């Protein structure tokens, strides 16, 4: 009897030991802290698996402004290289000064530094009032005999007329002319304007200046004509008309200059000066 009880007790202990081992193979029951950690991890996995609507919205309508609203914040704006090449493909951001071959156009009008001769006669009464081809101002005119040598005139006050006669030496004449005041406006004409004088780029230090002449009675190379004489004795040639003296190209004006009646050479014009107040 005692042996059977001991056997039964030992068997019970063995069975309980097997049960304990089986429970251990399934894992010990988690503690409260472990259960909480596992719950938080599962929740994070659920959130991560959900589609990010804000991300989709940003992708659909990409915000091209940075944090300061001035431009892209992701570096998608124009690079420095693309900016530097913009001038090559479009408008040069810094065109710089004009080319040396360009011709500068300017105006000239008598002031207190000029030598002005007062005349008693009305030159305009001796010759018709016509538009001056040497003036950029359409209201300026010429009048009187050719010998008077006036190149551009203007009514300065009332019936008083002021005219340029020598633009290089700064000489002018002044006279009273009721005739000019009564004749009113002049026909503006349709020909090219002519400079009073031009400065040439002949390679010398001071350059050469050439001004108009009223008569051409000299012989020139191969029968050409000259309506502009230069300060060094050279002359500007044309086949016939004074308007043909200048080749007015986009790169700048040029002239045919003859030295000592010799074969003319093409010379650039640096400055062309007209009569005008502006």
The per-residue pLDDT for 39 is: 47
d(CA 170, CA 108): 10
The per-residue pLDDT for 264 is: 96
Minimum mean pLDDT among 11-20, 114-123, 259-268: which range? Answer: 11-20
d(CA 86, CA 83): 5
* 75, pLDDT greater than 70: no
Bridge partners of residue 171, in order along the sequence: 115, 166
- Tens digits of residue pLDDT in 247-270: 999 889 999 999 999 999 999 999
What does the mean pLDDT of the chain come to? Answer: 74
The per-residue pLDDT for 233 is: 93
**Are 270 and 117 within 8 A, CB to CB?**
no
- Tens digits of residue pLDDT in 178-237: 999 998 788 777 778 999 999 998 777 778 999 998 777 788 999 999 999 999 999 999
Top pLDDT among 161 and 250 is at 161
Question: In Å, how far from its chain's centre is CA 147?
Answer: 46
**Are 81 and 248 within 8 A, CB to CB?**
no
**Are 148 and 161 within 8 A, CB to CB?**
no
Cβ within 8 Å of residue 142, ≥6 positions away:
129, 130, 131, 132, 150, 151, 152, 153, 163
Q: Tokens for 85?
A: 């090449």
Q: Tokens for 131?
A: 């538009």
SS (H, E, C) the chain: CHHHHHHHHHHHHHHHHHHHHHHHHCCCCCCHHHHHHHHHHHHHHHHHHCCCHHHHHHHHCCCCCCCCCCCCCCCCCCCHHHHHCHHHHCCCCCCCCCCCCCCEEEEECCCCCCEEEECCCCHHHHCCCEECCCECCCCCEECCCHHHCCCEEEEEECCEEEEEEECCCCEEEEEECHHHHHHCCCCCCCCCCCCCEEEECCCCCCCEEEEECCCCCCCCHHHCEEEEEECCCCEEEECCCHHHHCEEECCEEEEEEECCCCCCEEEEEEEEEEECCC
d(CA 142, CA 126): 11
Minimum mean pLDDT among 18-32, 78-92, 113-127, 157-171: which range? Answer: 78-92
- Percent of the chain exceeding pLDDT 70 equals 64
């Amino acid at each position: 009897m005692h042996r059977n009880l001991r056997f039964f007790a030992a068997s019970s202990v063995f069975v309980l030991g097997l049960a304990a081992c089986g429970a251990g193979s399934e894992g010990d029951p988690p503690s409260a802290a472990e259960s909480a950690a596992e719950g938080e991890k599962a929740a994070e996995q659920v959130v991560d698996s959900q589609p990010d609507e804000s991300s989709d919205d940003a992708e659909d309508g990409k915000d091209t402004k940075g944090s300061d609203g001035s431009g892209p914040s992701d570096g998608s704006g124009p690079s420095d290289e693309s900016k530097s090449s913009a001038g090559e493909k479009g408008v040069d951001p810094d065109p710089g000064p004009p080319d040396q071959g360009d011709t500068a156009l300017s105006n000239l009008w008598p002031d207190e530094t000029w030598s002005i001769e007062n005349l008693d006669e009305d030159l305009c009464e001796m010759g018709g009032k016509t538009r001056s081809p040497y003036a950029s101002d359409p209201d300026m005119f010429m009048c009187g005999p050719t010998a008077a040598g006036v190149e551009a005139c203007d009514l300065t006050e009332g019936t008083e007329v002021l005219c340029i006669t020598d633009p290089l030496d700064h000489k002018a004449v002044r006279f009273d002319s009721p005739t000019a005041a009564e004749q009113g406006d002049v026909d503006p004409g349709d020909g090219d304007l002519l400079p009073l004088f031009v400065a040439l780029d002949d390679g010398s230090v001071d350059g050469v200046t050439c001004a108009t002449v009223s008569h051409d009675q000299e012989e020139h190379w191969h029968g050409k004509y000259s309506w502009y004489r230069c300060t060094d004795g050279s002359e500007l040639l044309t086949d016939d008309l004074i308007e043909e003296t200048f080749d007015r190209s986009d790169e700048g004006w040029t002239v045919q200059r003859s030295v000592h009646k010799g074969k003319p050479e093409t010379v650039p014009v640096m400055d062309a000066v007209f009569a005008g107040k502006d």
